[in-house]
């Protein structure tokens, strides 16, 4: 029996839909691939949300929760699932992405917006699952996992810049 995974994709910024009509299925595919790389069949059910927002929305969250008054590409807010009854879906948390920052980074790095969005979703999911990059060892391990997951999606190593 496969792990049941519920992913809510919410749009807080119309630029995602107008400039990347496939944003929702891109997010779902990247998130499912990341989750399935970690969880075995039968683990779960699981649920989390992906919010496609703008820089202003992400900057407000970043300021309030991280004390940093700037926009960033992705924020992850892991949930505390310690008191969830056994037969209920385990909430993993929320991932919020900023359109303008994500688009600018993709353009600056010569990447497709679809690929960069996939990378940031994978990055966010790994954070929800407890991965971090606070030190060099953690950063190398998280990067290794991202590269492996993205390869499964047919996406090149995000650290390699294109000309």
Domain boundaries, the chain: 5-152
Count how many residues are written for the chain.
163
Low-confidence residues of the chain, pLDDT below 70? 1-3, 40-44, 161-163
The second-level CATH assignment, the architecture, of 5-152 is 3-Layer(aba) Sandwich (3.40)
Q: Give the pLDDT of residue 138.
A: 86
Q: Give the pLDDT of residue 67.
A: 94
The β-bridge relationship of strands 5-11 and 46-53 is parallel
Instruction: Give, in degrees to the nearest 5, the angle at Cα 78 between 144 and 37.
Output: 35
Q: pLDDT (tens digit, 9 = 90+) per residue, 28-55?
A: 999 999 998 877 655 668 899 999 999 9
The torsion angles phi and psi of 110, rounded to 5 degrees, stand at: 65, 30
Indicate the pTM of the whole model: 0.91
């Amino acid at each position: 029996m496969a792990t049941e995974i519920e992913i809510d994709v919410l749009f807080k910024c119309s630029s995602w839909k107008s400039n990347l009509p496939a944003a929702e299925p891109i997010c779902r595919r990247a998130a499912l691939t990341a989750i399935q790389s970690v969880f075995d069949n039968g683990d779960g059910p699981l649920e989390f949300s992906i919010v496609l927002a703008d820089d202003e929305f992400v900057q407000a969250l970043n300021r309030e929760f991280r004390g940093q008054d700037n926009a960033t590409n992705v924020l992850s807010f892991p949930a505390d699932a310690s008191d969830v009854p056994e037969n209920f879906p385990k909430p993993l948390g929320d991932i919020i992405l900023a359109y303008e920052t994500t688009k600018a980074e993709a353009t600056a790095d010569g990447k497709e917006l679809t690929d960069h969005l996939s990378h940031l979703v994978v990055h966010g999911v790994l954070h929800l699952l407890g991965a971090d990059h606070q030190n060099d060892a953690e950063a190398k391990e998280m990067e290794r996992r991202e590269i492996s997951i993205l390869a499964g999606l047919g996406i090149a190593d995000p650290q390699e810049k294109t000309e």
